[in-house]
Copies of this chain bind each other. A is one copy, B any other.
C-alpha cells in the first residue's frame, strides 16, 4: 500500500516553527491553553490549514479542525487525525504538535498524490490537552466525545483566575460548532512515546493497542512520635517504616509479575521529620497503572490488603483517599494491525505497546475506533526542553500514518 512519502522538510520545518512560538525571555516554551501565546500557535496552524486548501472549523470548546472533503466523498463520517498544540510550562516541541502537524502533512501529501478518498479526512487540534491552566486535562477531546458538558467546561476557572470560555472568546477561538461535529469513522493519533521503551529496544515504531488505566491514591499512615534512642523496636508505632513497607511491596509485586503493571510512589513526607524522632505520620501517593481493568483492580485490592495487614501488625492508623481513577482504554485491533502492516512494508521494526501517558485518543476512543502510533523519545524524556526525537523517526512515523490513512480512506475499516 506504500505510495509516495510525506514532505519531510515541510513537516520538520513546521515542527520547528511552531516550537518557536511561545518561548519566553529565558527560551522556555510555554503555550498554555487559550493564552496569548497559544493564540499565536493556533493562528499559525490555521494559516497552514488554509494554505493547504482545507476548510477550517472551530467548535465551541475551541477544538480546531482542518477538513478535506472532496466531491468524491460517499460517506460523510471522516477519518480523523490529530492531537493538540497547547503545552506545559517549559515544554519540548514535539508533544502534541508532532501528531497535529503530521495529520496536516498526511492530508496535503494525499491531496498531492491525487487520492480519491471515500470519506472526508480531518486534522484536529484539541483544546487544553495538558490541563496545566484548566483542569481536567484532555478537556477538548473529552468534551468532543461527550464526556463533559461544553458549558461546564467553558465555565472552568484557571489557575490564574481566568474563565476558559472568556479566554477562548478573547483569543478568537470560541467557535460555533457543537462538539462532536464531525463524528469520525476512525481516529489515529501519532505521538512521541514519552517513555524509554522504543529507544532502549532499538525499535522505530510502536503500534499502541492499549492506554493504561490509572489509579491514584493518597495514603496517610499514623503512628507515635517517640524518642529514637529510648524506644525499643518492639514498642514502636513507626509510620515511616510502614510507609516504606508499602513502597517495597509495590515494587516487589510489580517486578515479580509478567504484566505491564507499573506502581510508583512519587510523593513521600514524614512528620515531624526530625532525625531522632520516630515518624508519627507518613503521607505518600500511590500511582498504579495497568492496561487491563481487572488487573488494575487486583493491584488496588492487593494494596488495600497490605494496608490492613500493616495496620494490624504495626498498630498504625491508615487512611486512603482516591485522587483519580481512569479505566484502561483498548484501542481498535484493526487499526493496530494496519499500523503493523504499514511498518512491515516500509521495513521498519514495530512493536505493540501500551501508552503509559494519557492522550486525546483515549477520549475519542469512546465514540470511534481509535489507535495511536508512537515514535521513540530519546531517554524517555518529555515535558522538558530536552524532549527529543530523531528527524528520521519523526519522518518514519508520519509515513506510517500516511500509509494507514491512505488505506482507510479508500477501503475503510474492516467490517
Q: Which residues of A contact B (CB under 8 A)?
A: 193-197, 200, 212, 214, 216, 226-235, 238, 240-241, 243-245, 247-248, 251, 254-255, 260-270, 273-279, 282, 285, 287, 289, 323, 355-358, 380, 382-383
Contact = CB atoms under 8 A, between A and B. Distances in A.
16 contacts: A195-B232, A196-B226, A197-B235, A212-B229, A229-B356, A233-B262, A235-B380, A240-B268, A243-B244, A244-B245, A244-B247, A245-B248, A264-B276, A264-B277, A268-B268, A269-B273
Given A233-B254, A244-B244, A273-B266, A287 B357 contact: no
Contact of A251 (B200, B238, B267, B285): B238
Contacts of A323: 275
B247 A241 contact: yes
Nearest to A216: B275
Residue of A245, A263, A270 with most chain B CB atoms under a 10 A cut-off: A270
Given A230-B193, A232-B197, A245-B248, A276 B265 contact: no
Contacts of A356: 227-231
B230 A200 contact: no
Given A234-B255, A268-B273, 20 more contacts: A195-B227, A196-B230, A216-B275, A227-B380, A227-B383, A228-B287, A228-B356, A229-B356, A230-B356, A230-B382, A231-B356, A231-B380, A233-B261, A241-B247, A244-B244, A264-B276, A266-B274, A266-B279, A269-B269, A275-B285
Contacts of A197: 230, 232, 235
Copies in the complex: 2
A173 B244 CA distance: 49
A232 B262 contact: yes
Residue of A238, A282, A356 with most chain B CB atoms under a 10 A cut-off: A356
A241 B265 contact: yes
Contact of A241 (B196, B231, B238, B248): B248
B357 A229 contact: yes
A77 to B, nearest CB: 31
Residue of A194, A226, A233, A262 with most chain B CB atoms under a 10 A cut-off: A233
Contacts of A262: 228-229, 231-233
A245 B265 CA distance: 13
B267 A196 contact: no
Nearest to A286: B275
B227 A194 contact: yes
A323 B275 CA distance: 10
A274 B235 CA distance: 33
Contacts of A212: 229
B270 A268 contact: yes
A278 to B, nearest CB: 6
A267 B267 contact: no
A276 B270 contact: no
A300 B207 CA distance: 50
B251 A278 contact: no
B260 A266 contact: no
B240 A265 contact: yes
A380 B226 contact: yes
Contact of A195 (B231, B241, B289): B231
A151 B127 CA distance: 70
A301 to B, nearest CB: 19
A226 B232 CA distance: 38
What 3 A-B pairs have minimum CB-CB distances, sorted nearest first? A195-B230, A229-B356, A230-B356
